[in-house]
Amino acid sequence: TAAHSACHSALMIILLLLGFASLAACSDHPPAEDPTQGKWTVFKDDEQLHPCIKMYATIRLKLSYVDADDAMKEVPEFAVPADAIAATGEGKSSCYERVHIGDEFIDSQVLHLEFPHNEGWNVRLAFTQDPRMGVNQNDYALWQVNVTANYSSMPDLFHNAVKDHTHTYFSVIDFLNPPYIAGVEYTALGDSLYCPETPQEFEINVDESVGPFASISLSDLWMQAYMSTDDFGKQVICADDQTDLDMVPVIISAILAGLVLFTLITYFVYRSRLPTDILEMTEPEFEEEHEHHEHATEHNHLHDNHNGSHHGHNNANHHDNYGYKEEENRF
């Protein structure tokens, strides 16, 4: 019994240790302060008390450009400076702006970022509640990203660029086919969208007839537009990050189940290979059964001897016994 329970306790301890190890592995990513993450706010009022847009994000851009020799070039992905400024004023950040698309306009809130060390650069992120952009009632979405580039002020990246040439990359809006980004970067009014894990990439322009290619990647993202509170509302985790988080317990359970099975199989295989005499030592039930059996044969053996060789000698005793019993039975 001792060997048995010792084995069981060892199994339990191994399982517990595995459990703790997996828990530790799960909770072992503290939110590191990312130096590329910018924190921007657009206010409704000059006193800067009531925000309409708050955005914490690392924004990366991938841009192509036409150089001075008319060749199409692509620059390595680079981050919008974390110290970019949410600029205000005419045609810049705004809580109420009609963004023109051809003859139409989309009521929007716009975050307009200017690069402090690169003159002539800006990124414009437009949010809306307009159903024509595929936004459901009581939701808001990021629907357009424009990037204005002044190649001359980033000469290290844009080699041999046309001097003092600025270009605006913009996502072409098709009213019949609402923008993909609006179907991903959206949530309910009053809630904030939180995407800490998976960087999300969106095309700005892929149509060469419109201009050079451009895409944007958003990571470490926490944002909200159409705000009516002074701080972020309830965090809604991005669909991409949700599936990631949901997979963690599933994977860990699968690994643990596999280990339990492995341990049990190993235990039984090991046990089945033990010689019988060791099994007798470790298996109390088997041992007891065996003993009883042995005792029983011994007794029979003794009886046989007794009755066989000393038969005549004990006849008197036997009779005495019977006589006594008969006497007893009379009363």
Ligand X SMILES: *[C@@H]1O[C@H](CO)[C@@H](O)[C@H](O)[C@H]1NC(C)=O
Q: By the criterion CB under 6 A, which residues form the site for ligand X?
A: 99-101, 110, 119-120, 124, 126, 144, 146, 150, 152-153, 164, 166, 168, 170
CA proximity to 56, closest of 276, 285, 219: 219
The residue among 120 and 190 lying less far from ligand X, judged by its C-beta, is: 120
CA proximity to 224, closest of 53, 56, 85: 53
The residue among 205 and 224 lying less far from ligand X, judged by its C-beta, is: 205
CA proximity to 206, closest of 240, 183, 179: 179
The residue among 102 and 312 lying less far from ligand X, judged by its C-beta, is: 102
Residue type, 228: S
- By beta-carbon distance, which residue lies closest to ligand X? 120
Residue type, 297: T
What is the closest distance, in whole angstroms, from the C-beta atom of residue 204 to ligand X in the complex? 10
* H-assigned helices in the chain: 2-26, 239-272, 276-282, 284-309, 315-330
Q: Is 313 in a helix, a strand, or coil?
A: helix
What is the closest distance, in whole angstroms, from the C-beta atom of residue 47 to ligand X in the complex? 26
Q: What angle do CA 170, 173, 52 make, to 5 degrees?
A: 75
What is the closest distance, in whole angstroms, from the C-beta atom of residue 74 to ligand X in the complex? 21
DSSP state, residue 92? S
The residue among 168 and 305 lying less far from ligand X, judged by its C-beta, is: 168
Helices 239-272 and 2-26 pack at an angle, to 10 degrees, of: 160
What is the closest distance, in whole angstroms, from the C-beta atom of residue 155 to ligand X in the complex? 8
The residue among 160 and 229 lying less far from ligand X, judged by its C-beta, is: 160
What is the closest distance, in whole angstroms, from the C-beta atom of residue 211 to ligand X in the complex? 10
